[in-house]
Amino acid sequence: MAASMAARAAAWGLRRARAATPGTPGTPAPPAGPRRALGGPAAGSDTAAVLRERLRQRQVSSAPPQDEDRGSQGSLRLLALRLGGLLAATGGAAVLYVFGSNSVDEHGDKIPDEFDNDPVGIRHLRRTYKYFKDYRQVE
């Protein structure tokens, strides 16, 4: 919808610029200036250049403002997403460490289980999975 509104605004600006160009039927001729009175070749091109510049200025001024707040909001959002991801990764690692470590007896010795022969990361994952699976079955 915004694109169609921008297209309409641009078309309106072009219509106004075309209506203001000299030689268009139904529009008054611009006042004669020094170059116009001399009839030099630059008389028409100066008017067209001025009109193009005015049209460009109107199109730029009708564009939505690009303020600095949008850039800072984007960088703050990116920072928040990165911090959230870091927090989630740290929390996941902490859960795997706490629930995936060996159980200990009253003397602090590790109690062997069926996951002792697995690689370190896999044994933590399997112990954590088993812990939460057993916890759901208790309920």
pLDDT digits (tens, 9 = 90+) for 77-130: 999 999 999 999 999 999 999 999 988 899 989 999 999 999 988 999 999 999
16-25, 28-37, 69-78, 84-93, range with greatest mean pLDDT: 84-93
| Mean per-residue pLDDT over the chain, rounded | 78
* Per-residue pLDDT at 87: 98
Beta-carbon contacts of residue 125 (< 8 Å; ≥ 6 apart): 96, 100
Please report which confidence band the pLDDT of residue 64 belongs to, taking 50, 70 and 90 as the band edges: low
Supply 94's token pair: 């902490």
pLDDT at 51 > cutoff 80: yes
User: Which has the higher per-residue pLDDT, 9 or 123?
Assistant: 123
Other CB atoms within 10 A of residue 124 CB: 21
What distances in angstroms separate CA 102 from CA 36, 90, 91, 93, one per listed residue?
96, 20, 19, 16
134/139 Cα distance (integer angstroms): 9
pLDDT at 34 > cutoff 60: no
pLDDT at 33 > cutoff 80: no
Asked if 48 and 30 touch (Cβ cutoff 8 Å), the reply is no
User: Which has the higher per-residue pLDDT, 45 or 35?
Assistant: 45
pLDDT at 17 > cutoff 70: no
Let me know the angle formed at the C-alpha of 63 by 46 and 48, rounded to the nearest 5 degrees. 10
99/7 Cα distance (integer angstroms): 60
* Per-residue pLDDT at 58: 86
- How many CA atoms lie within 13 Å of 61's alpha carbon, on the beta-carbon side? 7
